[in-house]
Structure 1
C-alpha cells in the first residue's frame, strides 16, 4: 500500500473503513449501539469532508489501488510545534502489514515544524497502545473527554521529535 492525501472521492471508502474498524475494536468495550452512534456522528461523510479542508492538517489514506487499508488525520494545535493525531486506523484485515507505520511516518513528515505528536487512546485498546509505544509514544496523562466532545476517558500519549 502507498500513502497519499485523501480526496473527496475517498470519503465513502474511508467511512466504511472507520465503521468496520470501530466495530471490530470497540463493540466489546462500548457496545454495538454506542459504537454505531459514535461512528454515525464522528465518521459521517459531512464530518469527514470537513477535515479535507481544515487548515494546518493532513488527511492520509493507505491505498493499494483496489481498496483503502488505513487512514490517518492529524492537525496542528494553536502551537505549530504540537500536532494532534486525531485518527489513525487500519482495517482489521490489513493490520500488522506496516500500513499504520507508513501512515505515522507520513504524518511526521507532513509537519516539519512539529516537536511533539500527541494522541488520545482508549485505555482498553491494548493493541493500539502497544503499537504507539513501539513507535516512541509515552503516556503523559489522561482525559475524561476523548476528542473533546465524547465523554469517553482516554490516555494521552506523546512522541517527542527533534
Structure 2
C-alpha cells in the first residue's frame, strides 16, 4: 500500500470502504439501521467530495493499485498548531498490517507546523482506542463534538508532536 491524496475518482471506493468499515465497527454500538443512516449522511458522495477542496485539510487514501484499503481525513485549526483527525479507517480484512500507521504518519507529515493531533473515538470502540494509544495518543477528555452528533459516549485523545 502507498498513501496518496484522494481524488474525485476515488470517491465511490472511499464510500464503499467507509460503509463496510462502519458496519463492521459500529453495528454493535449503534445497531445496523443507525449505522446505515449515519453512513448515508456522513459518507455520501457529496459529503466526501466536499472534503477534497476543504481548506487547511488533507484527505488521504492507502492504495495498492487495485483497491483502496484505508482512508484518513484531517484538518488544521488554531492557526495550524492543532490537527484534528476526523477519520482514519482501514478495511476490516486489512487491519493489523500497518496501513493505519502509514495513514497516521502521512497525516502528521502533511501538517509540519502542527504541535499536536487531536481525535475523538467512541468509548466502546476498544480496537481503535488500543491503536491510538499504541501510536502515542493520551486520553485528554470526554464527550467531544462527535458525541453530540451521535449520542454515544466518546473520548478525546491528544498526541503532542515534536516541533
TM-score category of the 2 structures, normalised to the smaller one: over 0.9
The alpha carbon displacement at 1:77 in A equals 1.4
The verdict on how the C-alpha distance between 1:9 and 1:147 changes in structure 2, with shifts beyond 3 A counting, is farther
Mapping of residues 5-84 of structure 1, within 5 Å? 5-84=5-84
Cα distance between partner residues in 2 of 1:113 and 1:136: 18
> In the alignment, what sits opposite 1:150?
150
Q: Find the aligned partners of 1:11 and 1:52 in 2 and give their Cα distance.
A: 10
Quote the residue 1:130 is aligned against.
Answer: 130
- Counterpart CA distance in 1 for 2:26 and 2:90 is 14
Gaps of 5+ in 2: none
Separation (CA, whole Å) in 2 of partners of 1:15 and 1:148: 23
The residue aligned with 1:93 is 93
| Per-residue deviation, residues 8-36 of structure 1 (Å, max 9, x unmatched) | 10000000000000000000111001000
Root-mean-square deviation (CA), in Å? 1.2
Report the TM-score when normalising by structure 2.
0.96
| C-alpha distance 146-36 of structure 1, shift in aligned 2 (>3 A) | same
Taking structure 1 as the reference length, what is the TM-score of the superposition? Answer: 0.97
Residues 150-159 or 85-94, more deviating: 150-159
Of stretches 89-98 and 78-87 in structure 1, the one that deviates more from structure 2 is: 78-87
1:40 and 1:154, CA in 2 relative to 1: closer, same or farther beyond 3 A?
same
Q: Give unpaired runs (5+ residues) of structure 1.
A: none
